[in-house]
Amino acid sequence: MTSSSNDRLSPVLTRIDAGLDATLDRLMGFLRIPSISTDPAYKSDCDRAADWLVSELQSLGVTAEKRPTPGHPMVVGHAGPDSANAPHLLFYGHYDVQPVDPLNLWSSDPFDPKVETRAGVKMICGRGSSDDKGQLMTFVEACRAWVAEHGSLPCRVTFFFEGEEESGSPSLIPFMKENAAELTADVALICDTSMVAPGVPSIASQLRGMLKDEFTLKGPKMDLHSGHYGGPALNPLREISKIIASFHDDQGRVAVEGFYDGVHEVPEDIKRQWEGCGFNEAEYLGLAGMSKPHGEAGYSALEQQWARPTLEINGLWGGYNGVGSKTVIPAEAHCKITCRLVGDMDPQDLQKKLRAHVEARCPQDAEIVWDNTPEGSPAAVMNTNRPEFEQARKALTDEWDREAVFSGMGGSIPIAGFFTSVLGMDSMLIGFANDDDRIHSPNEKYNLESFHKGMRSWARILDALSK
């Protein structure tokens, strides 16, 4: 860090600290808008939240406007100078929130936010405080402080806020395609993720991909009576169970031939980072009632979740499921499958292998019928070789006084994939939420530390990326 950059950063950080109460007031105003995107009753509130953001951006000198879609509007803004030395950044967040049912489980009104101290920790309580209004405001407020101090941002920034993230983003891809030139920057910043552990700054650098498939095992021509046919009859429930049991070996490893093609072991340096990242395995497992990781033997829970592929059964059914008993041998059994993908696993190729595994185990007198609409997306491995990643990691380390980590994620953040596939743009996923923020649940909260240090983190990152 050069002294000149220290010079421009320090007063911004000081301003953020001094202005904390005012930034909190602004956030509270944003949180009071019940912008529940999935419920048509809140359509005008979503519109109001978009207006609020436009006004907020304009107040810090951003050219911002609300842009219509068939659903809730987008908010797009542009600010800052072009610089040969600094990347053009796109910042993404979403202003819509999840529904609040069941309301009776909230300890206070979800849309009357408060700062409270619980168990010694100060937190902002209310719907959207963490997901995603509080998170997106960390960036907006960092920009406000920078502009207030220096008159303009240190690099060109495009702001892109969505109002349909919690309801499937139906307008997102069409809007991105129609406005591709305007939205394409050098790199995207996404603030919608958690830290690996409390106080451990994290850049999510790999997300698992997904393959969905579904099949029916058809056996007898019709449901049979277990007296008249039990014994000679092929039982689809037994046969589908055998197929499912064949998917894994006794070490928890997927036994589908070629399943691990394209899977790479985690590099030693990343592994060491993860080991020291503060992830509490016992707590993570205990939350779900587990005393040990049940995945592939030889891998930690974190590796099983972030770096290893899975084949899971998400639904299984056949025969009589009501109260009491029915002496039936059913004609069919059904099974829903998702695989989580890592590394270079190819969803289309994997689907062929999965189907071949199942079909090879289809017994005489039975038939496998596949659902026609499998979906697949490859794993997203962030381009951590870009200099911005190391610059951001160093900035985060400085702020949190704790080595920042490139973390994995077990799930997917679709927007990161869309930025790549639609706009050809790399993403950095940096968020300050904690796993106990109860997003999507009653009593959502965002730690005041996440909000405060989040703003300071973005100021440092803006500085670091703009040298």
The reply on whether position 263 binds a copy of itself by CB under 8 A is: no
CA pair distance 442, 439, nearest whole angstrom: 8
Question: Helix or strand or coil: residue 125?
Answer: strand
The reply on whether position 226 binds a copy of itself by CB under 8 A is: yes
Lookup: tokens for 282: 């016992």
Q: Return the residues of window 366-395 that contact a copy of itself according to CB under 8 A.
A: 375
CA pair distance 122, 351, nearest whole angstrom: 48
Strand 121-125's sheet: what is its strand order? 114-118, 121-125, 445-447
Element (H, E) at 428: strand 426-430
User: CB of 15: closest distance to a copy of itself in angstroms?
Assistant: 37
CA pair distance 173, 419, nearest whole angstrom: 9
CA pair distance 407, 273, nearest whole angstrom: 8
Selection from 334, 205, 351 nearest residue 267 by Cα: 205
CA pair distance 174, 70, nearest whole angstrom: 10
Stretch that binds a copy of itself, among 5-13, 123-131, 292-300, 450-458 (CB under 8 A): 292-300
Question: Helix or strand or coil: residue 376?
Answer: strand
Q: Return the residues of window 332-351 that contact a copy of itself according to CB under 8 A.
A: 333-334, 336, 338, 340
The reply on whether position 329 binds a copy of itself by CB under 8 A is: yes
DSSP state of 150: H
Candidates 120, 267, 289, 424; binder of a copy of itself (CB under 8 A) is 289
Q: Strand pairing partners for 124?
A: 115, 446
Binding map of a copy of itself across residues 229-258, x = CB under 8 A, - = no contact: xxxxxxx-xx-xxx-xxxxx----------
The reply on whether position 285 binds a copy of itself by CB under 8 A is: yes
Q: Return the residues of window 389-428 that contact a copy of itself according to CB under 8 A.
A: 409-412
Candidates 319, 414, 417, 442; binder of a copy of itself (CB under 8 A) is 319
User: CB of 120: closest distance to a copy of itself in angstroms?
Assistant: 26
Question: Helix or strand or coil: residue 115?
Answer: strand
| C-alpha torsion 458→459→463→464, nearest 10 | -40
Candidates 61, 258, 363, 417; binder of a copy of itself (CB under 8 A) is 363
Stretch that binds a copy of itself, among 81-89, 146-154, 315-323, 396-404 (CB under 8 A): 315-323
Selection from 194, 390, 398 nearest residue 279 by Cα: 194
Candidates 1, 103, 287, 360; binder of a copy of itself (CB under 8 A) is 287
Q: Return the residues of window 161-200 that contact a copy of itself according to CB under 8 A.
A: none
Stretch that binds a copy of itself, among 16-24, 68-76, 84-92, 224-232 (CB under 8 A): 224-232
User: CB of 168: closest distance to a copy of itself in angstroms?
Assistant: 12
Candidates 34, 154, 163, 295; binder of a copy of itself (CB under 8 A) is 295
* 190 Cβ contact partners less than 8 Å away, ≥ 6 residues apart: 92, 93, 413, 415, 416, 427, 428, 429, 430, 431
User: CB of 462: closest distance to a copy of itself in angstroms?
Assistant: 30
The reply on whether position 318 binds a copy of itself by CB under 8 A is: yes
Binding map of a copy of itself across residues 44-73, x = CB under 8 A, - = no contact: ------------------------------
